[in-house]
Amino acid sequence: MSYAVYVVDDDESVARSLKWLIEPLGYEVHTYENGLAFLESYKRNGVSPVGVLVVDVRMPVMGGFELQRELNALDFSLPIIFLSGHGDVPLAVAAIKDGAHDFLQKPINDQVLIDKINGAIRKSLDQKMSSEHLGEASEKIAGLSSREKEILQCVSDGLSSKEIARKLDISHKTVEVHRANIRKNWGLSRSQS
Q: What is the pLDDT of residues 98-139, one digit of tens each?
A: 888 999 988 889 999 999 999 999 998 888 787 777 667 777
Residue 137 lies in a domain: no
- Per mean pLDDT, which range of 17-31, 98-112, 137-151, 159-173 is the poorest? 137-151
Average pLDDT over residues 37-66: 90
Helices then strands, counting H and E runs in the chain, come out as: 8, 5
CB atoms within 10 A of CB 53: 29
124, 51: one domain = yes
Specify the pLDDT at position 23.
95
- What φ, ψ does residue 148 adopt, rounded to 5°? -65, -35
Determine the 3-state secondary structure of 53 from DSSP: strand
74, 148: one domain = no
Model confidence band, residue 154 (pLDDT cutoffs 50, 70, 90): confident
Task: Please give the tally of structural domains in the chain.
Answer: 2
88, 148: one domain = no
32, 93: one domain = yes
30, 117: one domain = yes
110, 156: one domain = no
Q: What angle do CA 92, 94, 95 make, to 5 degrees?
A: 65
Residue 138 lies in a domain: no
122, 66: one domain = yes
148, 122: one domain = no
Q: Which residues contact 136 (CB under 8 A, 6 or more apart)?
A: none
Domain that holds residue 185: 143-192
Alpha helix ranges (H) inside 23-159: 35-45, 64-73, 89-97, 110-142, 146-156
Supply the CATH number for residue 166's domain.
1.10.10.10
Supply the CATH number for residue 14's domain.
3.40.50.2300
20, 101: one domain = yes
Pairing of strands 51-56, 102-105: unpaired
Residue 174 lies in a domain: yes
Residue 69: is its pLDDT beyond 60? yes
Amino acid letter at 135? G
Residue 182 lies in a domain: yes
43, 122: one domain = yes
Specify the pLDDT at position 16.
95
Q: Give the closest residue to 81 by CA, choosing from 56, 62, 98.
A: 56
128, 65: one domain = yes
Phi-psi region of 60 (alpha: psi -120 to 50; beta: other; left: phi over 0): beta
